[in-house]
Structures are given as structure tokens and as C-alpha cells.
Amino acid sequence: MFLHPMSWPNGKKCAASVTFDIDADSLVRVGRPKDADLRLQPISMGRYGPTVAVPRILETYRRLELTQTFFMPGWVMEEYPDTVEAILKDGHEIGHHSWAHEDPMEHSDEVEAELFERALDTHIKMTGHKPRGYRAPVYSITPAIVNRLIEHDFLYDSSMMADDLPYEVVTNSGSLIEIPPHWGTDDWPPFAHMGELDYIMPVRGPSDGIKAFIEEFDAMYEAGGFWMPVLHPFLTGRLARWRELERHIERIVEQGDVWLTSMENIAEHAKSTGSRLRQENLDTGSTPATPLTP
């Protein structure tokens, strides 16, 4: 089923991480910078994520005794410090997700470097340490960003899609673990509808939209793989949608044979597998270095 199958700790059949990107109103402010403050409908929809949905999600995690991963732009962290505090208080991971959800392809790498460092400083100031993981806005990662992650000793990225399972990206300057996302497990296609970003699609019902995630999980569970939905609080955190996904998470927990954990733990485990981990070579134009795994 997999060219490079992975085994999971304590005899678990498969692994999973439920990840949330907390973009809040940064999406509208970057997409419509001239008049974002006048666009109260999308601004309020984005604010729903950290102020209403995240507390709901955290309550579920506390009840089920789960530790998971959130990705936050630095600007969002500074605008919503109570959200950061609540996530950290419950022991969850916060990953780097740009400064304000800017697309790196829309500006020079010099600008991107400044924004990346600004967000990194915010992480250190608000969490007490560097983040271990990174996810690019809209998965728009560049070779220069990969080099930057390696330079700053990031453990993993979650933006590239070259496999079903975690793998190692090896560059001329070093390497890092890739935990691949996929649009089939992203909640933007079934639930997002935002004219301000020129994204107008039919919104699917809660059970219909969540069904695709469950089918992806079932396939990964059967094959002993890894399941990682990429969610947004202002989308999947809405009451009816979260109720549907919460029921599925409850079933996973009750089964007892799924390692449901943070992305950092998944990446550390992948790194520990050594030569059994698949390697993907990526030319980023830097000087040669040795891979992470032997």
C-alpha cells in the first residue's frame, strides 16, 4: 500500500494529528488592505475563529485529553494574545504560519525574510521558544523558505505534498521532516465562501463536508498510515461542523489503536526511524550538507 510504510509507537495501527490554522481576520486585511476595516462581515467572520471557535475546540480536547497542533501567523498571535495563552495553557503546540498570511509568491524573498523573522520573534516572545514546525500560507512554500527553516533548526514543515506519509526533505544545506498536507483533507474547498478573496463556491452541509475527511481517515486507518486534516476555526469550528468532526474524533479515541498526537511528536517519531524514512531531494541552491537521518 505504501512504498515506505511506517510503524507507530506502542503498536498503534495508524497515527493522526488534527491541525488548525488560525488565520482570523488576517486573510481579509492582506487581501483587501485599502478598505479591510470597512468590510465588517468578513472581518467578523475571521474573528469568530479565535474568539468563539477555538474555545469550543479546546474544550473538546480537554475532555478527550488530547494534545494537538495549531498554526498561527505572528500578527494573529499579537492581536489575539488570550488565544495564544489558552492554547499554551492546555499544552498544545503552536507552529509558524507566516507574519500575516501573506503569499510568498506575491513579494520578493527579501520581504519574505523580514516577515518570517518578525513572526519568529513573536513566537519566541509569546511562547518562550522557537516553533518546531512551519506551514506556508496556502501551502505556498519556496526553496528559499526551506533554506530558512533549516537555518533556524526547524524540525518539520507541512506544506509540500510528495507522499502520503511523513518523509525527509534533503537539500544542499541540510534537511527537515515533511508532514504532507493535501487539499482532500483541507476544509477550505467544502466550507469556505469569501467573495472578498474572489473565492465563491457552494458551501456543503456539515455532514457532507466532514464525510470526505472521514473517508480519508478510513483509508489511512486500513493501510496503517497517517491522517491529518488541515482545518480553520472559522470554518470547521462552526457549531454543526465541529459537532460532526467531534463525533468522529471521539470514535477514534474510543478505538484506542490510533496515535492521535501533535505534529511535533509525529515529526520526532519520523526522524527516529532513520534510514527507513523516505528521502526527497530538493535543490535549493545552497552548499552541500548531510541528511537528518542516517
**Tens digit of each residue's pLDDT (9 = 90 or more) over 122-153:** 999 999 999 999 999 999 999 999 999 999 99
Asked if 43 and 49 count as a contact pair (C-beta separation under 8 A), the reply is no
pLDDT band at residue 292 under the 50/70/90 scheme = low
Predicted confidence (pLDDT) at residue 289 exceeds the cutoff of 80: no
pLDDT at residue 274, as a whole number: 81
Span 12-31, average pLDDT:
95
pLDDT at 286: 59
Q: Read off the pLDDT band of 58 (50, 70, 90).
A: very high
What pLDDT score does 291 carry?
59
Grid cell 493501510 in the structure block, residue:
223
pLDDT of amino acid 276: 87
d(CA 131, CA 89): 16
Q: How far apart are CA 125 and CA 120, in angstroms?
A: 9
pLDDT at 238: 98
Closest by CA to 88, choosing from 278, 259, 206, 262, is: 262
pLDDT in tens, 81-94: 999 999 999 999 99
- Domains parsed from the chain with CATH numbers: 13-281 (3.20.20.370)
C-alpha cell at 247: 463525533
Strand ranges for 39-119 from DSSP E: 69-72, 93-96
pLDDT by residue (tens digit) across 236-278? 999 999 999 999 999 999 999 999 999 999 999 999 998 789 9
pLDDT of residue 287 exceeding 70: no
Largest CA distance in the chain: 54
Q: At what angle do helices 81-89 and 109-127 cross, to 10 degrees?
A: 60
The conformational region for residue 203 under phi > 0 = left, psi -120 to 50 = alpha, else beta, is beta
Residue 193 CB: number of other CB atoms within 10 A? 12
d(CA 269, CA 273): 7
* pLDDT surpassing 60 at residue 198: yes
Q: What pLDDT sits at residue 288?
A: 46
User: Residue 290's pLDDT is what?
Assistant: 54
Least confident segment among 97-101, 124-128, 277-281, 283-287: 283-287
**Pairwise CA distance, residues 12 & 250, whole Å:** 17
**Span 168-196, mean pLDDT?**
94
Grid cell at residue 174: 541540510
Q: Quote the CA–CA distance of 129 and 221 in Å, as a whole number.
A: 34
What is the reported pLDDT for 233?
98
Amino acid 224: pLDDT: 97
Position 88 scores a pLDDT of 98
Beta 156-157 vs 226-227: how paired, if at all?
unpaired
